[in-house]
Amino acid sequence: MRKSLFLYLFIIAVLLNIFTYKYFTSKESSEQKSALETSDSSTNSSKVLSDSITHLTDKLYDANTFSLENNDRAQNYLYESNKINDVPAFAEKVKQALLSYNDSPEGNKYTDQVKMGDQKFIISSVKLLNHRWVIANYSNGQLWGEVLLKYFVEENGSISFEIMNSYLYPANLN
């Protein structure tokens, strides 16, 4: 009788070990599967983010197609004519030269607009398109417009401007 009791206890112990082993191996494989799924979803999300960054980079490149900073031919022209050594510094110099006319009591003369009432027209933003052209936004607080200018670098290093075309958007009639 004692032998049969030990036999039954041995069989129960073996069965408990088998069930415990199965439980922990299935738990481990489900955790690994879960980790892989999480990894796949993070890989997918990082791929989506990477694609978004690439898309935005392409849009930024397209938006800056017409800019002095991305125009090698215009930069070469300026280098060869000994007018600049540093493109960003030169671009800032041109912008500041144009914006300095905002201090005039009559407004910036390169907006091609006369002062209307108490408000003068001033230039708010400037973009150098190449070694010769500048586009700028201007406003008097109520009306907005854009102007296309030619700029010239004089022998003494000063910058002069010439209005090519200007457009003042009509006031809203609503």
Please list, in sequence order, all residues whose beta carbon lies within 8 angstroms of the beta carbon of residue 160, skipping any fewer than 6 positions away: 151, 152, 154
Q: What is the pLDDT of residues 80-92, one digit of tens each?
A: 877 677 888 889 9
Q: What is the pLDDT of residues 16-39, one digit of tens each?
A: 888 888 887 777 777 777 776 666
pTM higher than 0.75 for the full model?
Answer: no
